[in-house]
A = this chain, B = another copy of it.
Amino acid sequence: MERNDAEPAKRGRGRPPSAEVRRRVLETAAAVLLENGISEVTFDKVARRAGVSRMTLYKWFRSPASLALAAFEDTYADSLRPESSGDLWADLRAHLREFAANLSEPRTAPMVAGLLGSAQHDPKLAEEISATYTRPRREGAVALLRAGRERGQLPAAVDAEALVDQLWGACYARLLLPEGKLDEAFADALVDNLRALADPG
């Protein structure tokens, strides 16, 4: 068993955190997040509705947005499953469709947008989002493109990092900017545009 050697194994370990309390907090925060959006996820409201002390929230979460992120991950976040079939274009189409569907789902879309919006004022939140949500997805996407390029399905000169932003990033842009709708048709269009360029016939 790997004991965490960094932890100095204090003598008294103190009262253990209550799973019950943690559950109530995250559930309540998730509910508020769903009903009223991230800007209503405040320590005050969640503490009151969850029947929990505000102090407890201050101990666990840096900020209300951070709490919202935890609730989002706990309740709504999709589990990413980066499968690859070998056919790059089919993979791209499938993944982007699912990604766009996810981001445009009426319940979760405002949550993700709200979280990313809050992250613009809160670098630590940005880092948290990046670590648990954004970065893993991006790495999967980069890997997918690189694999395709190595299989010769993309020109060698293609910059995979930039291309990720031209596919997944474009979806984020549609989510976060007021112009343009995000839907599966858009996801298809992203892939089709690339194919049209590669094969103008």
Contacts and interface: CB of A to CB of B under 8 A. Distances in A.
B166 A170 contact: yes
| Copies of this chain, tallied across the complex | 4
A198 interface: yes
Contacts of A38: 121
A113 interface: yes
A178 B117 contact: no
> Interface SS of chain A: helix, strand, loop or mixed?
helix
A126 B178 contact: yes
Contacts of A17: none
A176 B116 contact: yes
A94 interface: no
Interface string A135-165: 1001000000000000000110111011101
Interface hub of A118, A173, A180, A196 (most chain B Cβ within 10 A): A173
A134 B177 CA distance: 8
Contacts of A158: 193, 196-197
Contact of A170 (B169, B192, B194, B197): B169
A159 B116 contact: no
Given A159-B193, A161-B189, 6 more contacts: A38-B121, A117-B118, A130-B179, A155-B200, A165-B174, A194-B197
Interface of A: 37-39, 110, 113-114, 116-121, 126-127, 129-130, 134-135, 138, 154-155, 157-159, 161-163, 165-170, 172-174, 176-180, 186, 189-190, 192-194, 196-198, 200
